[in-house]
Amino acid sequence: MKRPLGVSLISYFYLFGAVVLLFTAVFYNADADSTGIAERFGLPNVPERLMRVLVALISLLMVYGYIRLKKWGFWLMIIYSVLFGLISSLLVSNQSQQPFIGNLIWSIIVLTYTIYIKRAFFKTDFQH
């Protein structure tokens, strides 16, 4: 089965995001962002650089499994989309600015699309 175009596009988007996170972890400026990733996860005592590296590494692992159409890649993307969708929805309701609504919409789109094409991840090729 050929990889769906949406899987490739989503994977490249998350790959780009992981690279940006790794880059910003190296050149992190604590004064530049009032709400860091660690704080968004409810972990204000975790160093922001460490949190960015961890999220980037998890993203890279997820992208590898997702673009290769692995079952575990499907489940990681589902979990990741739900988790970040929930965090974004909480931030939309708690922040005076609304930059997180785009993240919420993106999470819903990725979740919906991934569920829609789940057959690509759960194909059974019996080769005897």
Which pLDDT tens digit goes with each residue over 46-59? 777 888 888 899 99
Structure token pair of residue 9:
């596009």
Residues 77-90 have a mean pLDDT of: 90
Share of the chain above pLDDT 70, in %: 79
pLDDT of residue 126: 42
pLDDT classification of 128: cutoffs 50, 70, 90:
very low
Residue length of the chain: 128
pLDDT of residue 50: 83
pLDDT for 97 beyond 60 = no
Residues 105-119 have a mean pLDDT of: 95
Q: In terms of pLDDT, which residue wins out, 125 or 110?
A: 110
Q: What is the pLDDT of residues 13-53, one digit of tens each?
A: 999 999 998 888 887 665 555 566 666 666 777 777 888 88
Structure token pair of residue 78:
């589902």
Task: Write the CB contacts of 46 (distance below 8 Å, at least 6 apart in sequence).
Answer: 38
Burial grade of 10 (CB within 10 A; 0-12, 13-18, 19 or more): buried
pLDDT classification of 95: cutoffs 50, 70, 90:
low
pLDDT of residue 88: 81
pLDDT of residue 49: 81
Q: In whole angstroms, how far apart are CA 127 and each of 108, 118, 124?
A: 36, 21, 9
